[in-house]
Amino acid sequence: MECIFCKIVKGEIPSKKVNENEKFLAFHDINPIAPIHILIIPKEHYEKFDNTPNEIFNEMASFIKDTAKKLGISDYRLITNNGKGAGQEVFHLHIHMVANPNGTLKWPKLV
């Protein structure tokens, strides 16, 4: 069964895109936890952080920086959950970019 993010990459499920290139896609989270909440994913399916080749992260870092510029933000938090016990719900590597341009983000309790 294909994951929801793979379906978004294929255009089978609509998304509000922020940035895209041949390898990565950034789009608005449908359940935002901050005024800006973007999901950044590789177009190729990798289940989680531990299953992703290291070279993908170098390219992804540049894409994340470009996405922040397109959003006009310089202060943001990046979050990824690695596995069910860490809170991962969709098993396709994704990084949350969250920001509050009108204030600061509070650090949530994790337990």
- Catalytic positions: 94
Residue 78, CB-side half-sphere exposure with 13 Å CA sphere = 16
Q: What tokens appear for 62 in the block?
A: 């540049």
Instruction: Say what the alpha-carbon torsion angle 41, 42, 44, 46 is, to the nearest 10 degrees.
Output: -70
Q: Which residues pair with 39 in a beta bridge?
A: 27, 96
